[in-house]
Structure 1
Amino acid sequence: MAPQDALSDALSADMAAVNALIRARMASEHAPRIPEVTAHLVEAGGKRLRPLLTLAAARMLGYGGQDHVKLAATVEFIHTATLLHDDVVDESQRRRGRPTANLLWDNKSSVLVGDYLFARSFQLMVETGSLRVLDILANASATIAEGEVLQLTAAQDLKTDEAIYLQVIRGKTAALFAAATEVGGVIAGADERHVTALRDYGDALGIAFQIVDDMLDYGGSATVIGKNTGDDFRERKLTLPLIKAVARATAEERSFWTRVIEKGDQQEGDLAQAMAILARHDAISACRLDALGWAAKAKAAVNSLPEHPLRDILSRLADFVVSRVA
């Protein structure tokens, strides 16, 4: 059984409560489009990985209350809001294998419903009565937005290096993974070293997850990635595979990257040529080594926590994330 499915099974009662809370809080008495747009994305078959991480962290460290359910719903609302906004910014047409909300409705609806979900998430986190939880999730929300803005300026600049890339994905992806696990430990009243280990696990897992996602854009199936292969290339996003290829580029290859990424002059056959250059420089294999390194860091962090069946599943999850590009 895949670790995500094992997590879902182990936390099924908690997850049912989270799903019920999400449905209740995404309702709107005055604007029926809000639950329509939200339901399209929330109920599209996503794995609910981030809320599962919050539930697992809390339960693993002995939490017996119900505030972890509110925090898990909070994390999912923040994630859904960012997806709605991202699809508008990226002009995406597919998400989780389905047409995006901005395609089915419009950009205005996606942006405003995303804003509504952010507001709902802050209402939920306040209800836990923990200022520290509020601080962690508010900081994560700001970091996510900062990462997305940084990506706007860095994505089409061939001077973007691996350090800037790491800063981008730490913001846009890893920040919410880290917050999801950290708040689970905080609400459980865990020892500080355990809270730190949970945060480190989420951070490393999120980085590995995003590196793998960026690799899959150059060879993953649409079923696995939930979008069209080559979307990042068409959107001129300078992700890690391209950054590695650009760093090793010949003069002719650099001219190609300048045309298709910086200038946006893409022609028939350019994606195939890009993938050929990636293969020539073994860029995908190099990315996989990076992802494996981050997965190992995630496992080291979570394995420092007290023994628990959920801890073992979280450790296997780090391996599973990278296995998607085995």
Structure 2
Amino acid sequence: MGLDHAAIKPHEQMAERFDGKLTAVNALIAERMASRHAPRIPQVTAHLVEAGGKRLRPMLTLAAADLSGYVGDHDVRLAATVEFIHTATLLHDDVVDESAQRRGRATANLLWDNKSSVLVGDYLFSRAFQLMVETGSLRVLDILANASATIAEGEVLQLTAARDLATTEDIYLQVVRGKTAALFSAATEVGGVIAAAPEVQTRALFDYGDALGIGFQIVDDLLDFRGDTAATGKNIGDDFRERKLTLPIIKAVAAADATERAFWQRTIEKGDQRDGDLEQAIALMHAHRTLDATQADALAWIARAKDALAPLPDHPVRQMLADLADYVVARVS
């Protein structure tokens, strides 16, 4: 039976193992997202935080700390930190992308306004830095501060690259490392750091998170053309309609003849989209097998993530992390 059809999925197994810690993380999030003077802050934050996300990134921090033998409560602080950073970036992303739906619900910027989403996102970033400082670790602060800067850099790079047909797979990878993988790798790395794990293990945790994050984003981009709207909370073709040059389209543009390139120029660069264009775009991807090629890339990154686990100690959580990596690509297999 494939992981996607398993009775208990890997992230659910992790949630069971860390049930007590996750309860503490959620309590800390609720405490720190409160605002005595600006009630809109907890309103906007709660709308997104309570929308049914898997808490994948904070679970990665808890898992890395557990695997590294950590005893204490700084892992809870760092897991909440990671979730705050993630939530802040989602609020900002939805404003930039002019999104109307997130996790199957109306976005905060639609329910309130863009100003509220941006400012609440800024507040959550500030709360995240307060939490990471409480660990007393300069290295943890350095890792998460660098990740925050890298995320912002990746988003700005995406602004310039998303609708430019000259965007290459290398540039796409740079964007993905910024907007997605940076927080995955930071989430796993800090778990090893607070446990004072040997450097080889901390590096392995970073490498796992980096490769997992890249594979995760590639799969997300693939699901935009192959996914189930009920499962993903997104409509098929949202990225195409928003004129985002994701990996399946980048590969199709690279293989395009003159007529096909003119189609991509009209729909992506110029934004002149008409009835039937999404179906035409998907037909071109099938013709050049770029969806299959994108899936192969995702599989390669997930294999790299699993290989990165080799230096880590024999531990039940290590198998959970390997299963989680398999599950990421099982969503499109």
Q: Normalised by the shorter chain, which TM-score bucket?
A: over 0.9
State the shift of 1:221 in Å: 1.2
State the shift of 1:222 in Å: 1.6
1:13 match: 20
Contact preservation (8 Å) 2:68, 2:197: yes
Q: Which residue type is aligned with residue 231 of structure 1? A: D
User: Is residue 137 from structure 1 mapped to residue 148 from structure 2 by the alignment?
Assistant: no
Question: Which of 320, 327, 333 is 1:320 aligned to?
Answer: 327
Q: Which residue type is aligned with residue 22 of structure 1? A: I
Whole-angstrom CA distance in 1 between matches of 2:73 and 2:135: 9
Contact preservation (8 Å) 1:303, 1:315: no
State the shift of 1:230 in Å: 1.0
Whole-angstrom CA distance in 1 between matches of 2:49 and 2:34: 13
Q: Which residue type is aligned with residue 255 of structure 2? A: R
> For structure 2, which runs of at least 5 residues remain unmatched after alignment?
1-7
Contact preservation (8 Å) 2:162, 2:246: yes
Question: Which of 292, 297, 302 is 1:295 aligned to?
Answer: 302
Contact preservation (8 Å) 2:95, 2:118: yes
Whole-angstrom CA distance in 2 between matches of 1:158 and 1:77: 34
Q: Which residue type is aligned with residue 100 of structure 2? A: Q
1:26 match: 33
Whole-angstrom CA distance in 1 between matches of 2:246 and 2:96: 16
Q: Which residue type is aligned with residue 2 of structure 1? A: K
Matched ranges for 1:100-115 at <5 A: 100-115=107-122
User: 2:272 aligns to what SS in structure 1?
Assistant: coil
Contact preservation (8 Å) 2:189, 2:205: yes
1:233 match: 240
2:63 match: 56
Q: How far does the alpha carbon of each residue in 1:71-93 deviate from its partner, in whole angstroms, 9 at most, with x for none?
A: 00000000000000000000001
User: 2:52 aligns to what SS in structure 1?
Assistant: coil
Q: How far does the alpha carbon of each residue in 1:87-110 deviate from its partner, in whole angstroms, 9 at most, with x for none?
A: 000000110011100011110000
Q: How far does the alpha carbon of each residue in 1:127-171 deviate from its partner, in whole angstroms, 9 at most, with x for none?
A: 000000000000000000000000000000000010000000000
Matched ranges for 1:10-159 at <5 A: 10-159=17-166
User: Is residue 168 from structure 1 mapped to residue 175 from structure 2 by the alignment?
Assistant: yes
Whole-angstrom CA distance in 1 between matches of 2:295 and 2:91: 28
Q: Which residue type is aligned with residue 221 of structure 2? A: D
Q: Which residue type is aligned with residue 304 of structure 2? A: K
User: Is residue 308 from structure 1 mapped to residue 315 from structure 2 by the alignment?
Assistant: yes
Task: Quote the sequence identity (%).
Answer: 71
2:4 match: none
Contact preservation (8 Å) 1:94, 1:228: no
Whole-angstrom CA distance in 2 between matches of 1:230 and 1:187: 41
Contact preservation (8 Å) 1:303, 1:311: no
What is the TM-score with the length of structure 1 in the denominator?
0.99
State the shift of 1:179 in Å: 0.1
2:220 match: 213
State the shift of 1:228 in Å: 1.8
Q: Which residue type is aligned with residue 104 of structure 2? A: G
Q: How far does the alpha carbon of each residue in 1:2-28 deviate from its partner, in whole angstroms, 9 at most, with x for none?
A: 100011001111111000000000000
1:266 match: 273
Contact preservation (8 Å) 2:200, 2:311: no
User: 2:225 aligns to what SS in structure 1?
Assistant: coil
Q: How far does the alpha carbon of each residue in 1:264-284 deviate from its partner, in whole angstroms, 9 at most, with x for none?
A: 101111101000000101111
1:185 match: 192
Whole-angstrom CA distance in 1 between matches of 2:133 and 2:40: 25
User: What is the number of residues matched between the two proteins?
Assistant: 326
> For structure 1, which runs of at least 5 residues remain unmatched after alignment?
none
Contact preservation (8 Å) 2:133, 2:141: yes
Contact preservation (8 Å) 1:81, 1:118: yes
